[in-house]
Amino acid sequence: MPMDPRLLRPRASGSAFPAATATDSGGNPIAAVDYTDAEGNWRAHTFTGSGTLTFSRGGEVEYLIVAGGGGGGGTNLSNGAGGGGAGGLLTGTAQVTPQGYAVVVGGGGTGGAVGANGSSGSNSSAFGLTSIGGGLGGAVFNAGGVGGSGGGGASPSQSAGGAGTSGQGNAGGAGTGAGARRSGGGGGGADASGNTGTVSSGGDGGDGLESGISGTLAYYAGGGGGGEVNTFDLAAGEGGFGGGGDGGSVATQQTGFAATANTGGGGGGGAGDASSTGATGGNGGSGVVIVRYRR
């Protein structure tokens, strides 16, 4: 997949580029990364937790703001739970002035206990902009939660996926409920909706978007995969590119897999097994805020 074109458009040159220092919530400095690409020379500040970005002079900056992903749903007995939705993703440019700007990085939602929904991710913000936390993955009979991207719905009643936020993410997939063939839907991602669970597998999480704003190409905000149920040896849903956790599988691990930290990915849904008491969902990934400017 090509790099997100919104982060690759040319910039006008100028002499008064911004200059900033980054600190974490305890006032400790965060090291900047300097790099060069086809567009020129850049300095990037990556916040994996909340902090402050202080500019000594103003100008134009680019940003990537990703919220925390939603936790996958838990399941009881013969049902598959929904994957958590990815955290909302915002990217663009902003004009800054010489002052300190608060940066908030949202945490990932918690995976659901046995038979319980996951929890939604927390919002991230900077420059007066807020990306919305990912929607929770649904547990038994429950729909996925709304969020930056929506969480996946659970089986067995074809529960709907949650809606995403326009401009930030996509909807989660629905669970399936065809007799004993029950699987959860995948959580939505920044680039694609989560897939509906099928009679052969849990729904895959929607893919996130690729960006090189930090100086390294990476995907962000992928949805969590839906959990399966073992009655017909179904396959688990795969997490979307961008840190989404895989759904649980009775053959390997019933617990939904956790999303990758600082990607905003959704956690995987738990897998059901009639011979056990159920399984928990995977935790959502924490968010991230990255800012770069010319140097």
Q: How far apart are CA 90 and CA 264, in angstroms?
A: 12
pLDDT at 13 over 50: no
Q: pLDDT grade, residue 12 (50/70/90)?
A: very low
Q: pLDDT grade, residue 14 (50/70/90)?
A: very low
Tokens of 209: 């978007």
Adjacent-strand bridge partners of 182: 177
> What does pLDDT average to over the chain?
91
pLDDT digits (tens, 9 = 90+) for 29-67: 999 999 999 999 999 999 999 999 999 999 999 999 999
How much is the pLDDT for 179? 67
- Report, as an integer, the average pLDDT of 200-216: 96
pLDDT digits (tens, 9 = 90+) for 107-133: 999 999 999 999 999 999 999 999 999
How do the domains of the chain map onto residue ranges? 17-295
Least trusted range by pLDDT, from 85-89, 145-149, 232-236, 279-283: 232-236
Rg (alpha carbons) of the chain, rounded to whole number = 19
Q: Shortest CA distance to 72 belongs to which of 107, 113, 106? A: 113
* Backbone φ, ψ for residue 24 (5° rounding): -85, -175
How much is the pLDDT for 233? 63
pLDDT digits (tens, 9 = 90+) for 214-246: 999 999 999 999 998 876 567 899 999 999 999
How much is the pLDDT for 154? 94
- Report yes or no: 99 and 18 within 8 Å, Cβ to Cβ: no
Enter the pTM of the model: 0.93
Q: Where are the beta strands (DSSP E) in 212-294?
A: 218-220, 288-294
Percent of the chain with pLDDT over 90: 78
Q: How far apart are CA 127 and CA 142, in angstroms?
A: 36
pLDDT digits (tens, 9 = 90+) for 179-201: 667 899 999 999 999 999 988 88
Q: What is the dihedral of CA 122, 123, 125, 129, to 10 degrees?
A: 180
Percent of the chain with pLDDT over 70: 93
For residue 156, cis peptide bond before it (omega within 30 degrees of 0)? yes
